[in-house]
Structures are given as C-alpha cells and as structure tokens.
Amino acid sequence: MVWKTLLLVAVAVAFVSARREACAQGPSLEQTPRPVVPVIIGGDQYLDACAGKGVITGLDPRGDGFLAVKAGPGPRYKRVDKLFNGEQVYLCSDHGKWFGVVYSKTKEKCNVTTPWAKPLLYTGPCRSGWIHKSYVKITAG
C-alpha cells in the first residue's frame, strides 16, 4: 500500500513540475487561438509560401488603437488577437477585403519565406488569422 502512495506522489510531483515548466515557457501552440478559416500558404514552386509582407498602419491611437485579427475573412468572425501600428505581417492569402496573415509577437521565424509548391494550411510556429486590408501597407510582394 505504501508503494502505491509513493507512486501517486511521484506522478503528482512530475505533473506539477511539467506544468510549471510549460507555464514558464509561455503559451504552447495548442493554447494559441487558431482561425476558423485557416490561412493557406504556398502553391507556387517559385514564390515564397507567403508572397508578400506588410506593416499595420493607419490605426487611430485615440480610438481602440488596435486592428482585430479575426478567425475568418469577415467582421462576423471572432477576434483571436490584436495587432498595432508598426507591427509586421506576412501576406499569405486574400479573400475580398481581407488578408490571411502570419505574424510573430516574439520575432521568431515563421517558416513562410521559402517556396512551397503545394498549398497547405498554416499550422505554426507563428500566429495566423485574418485582417482587413485597409490597415495594411504592403512593403514587399
């Protein structure tokens, strides 16, 4: 009976230690909100997976001061993140007045600057979502 108690204590300590380490490293990919309508990258063997770059601009600092990143291309979709003036995004997809974008809040590499011959859903390591085109100044592509 004592060995069962010791085993349970060891498992509990290991779980708490792993959880504490995960929290210290920040949100995992699974904890990052994903768009309902996925951003598609690639589709051309000669162009980068995301063929353009842009910078967020024109947001009114006296207003809410941010650009909503949506779960899909339209205002009815849930907001999954916020972008601010000066933040850079990769332009990967478009749908009407909306860009499907990939971006990083920590300057990590997003793996979208090399060609991908076949189109595929972006799954990370960076964030992705949909933003309104009117607040993006295209800087490349």
Residue-range definition of the domain harbouring residue 18: 1-31
Whether residue 66 sits in one domain with residue 11: no
pLDDT digits (tens, 9 = 90+) for 64-91: 789 999 999 999 999 999 999 999 999 9
The pLDDT confidence band at residue 5, using thresholds 50, 70 and 90, is very low
How many angstroms from the chain centroid is the CA of residue 99?
13
Residue at 57: amino acid letter: T
CATH number at residue 118: 2.30.30.40
pLDDT higher than threshold 90 for residue 22: no
CA-derived radius of gyration, the chain: 20
Q: Length of the chain, please?
A: 141
Whether residue 126 sits in one domain with residue 86: yes
Whether residue 94 sits in one domain with residue 79: yes
What gap in Å lies between CA 105 and CA 92, rounded to an integer? Answer: 17
pLDDT digits (tens, 9 = 90+) for 113-126: 999 899 999 999 99
Whether residue 87 sits in one domain with residue 44: yes
pTM for the whole structure: 0.74
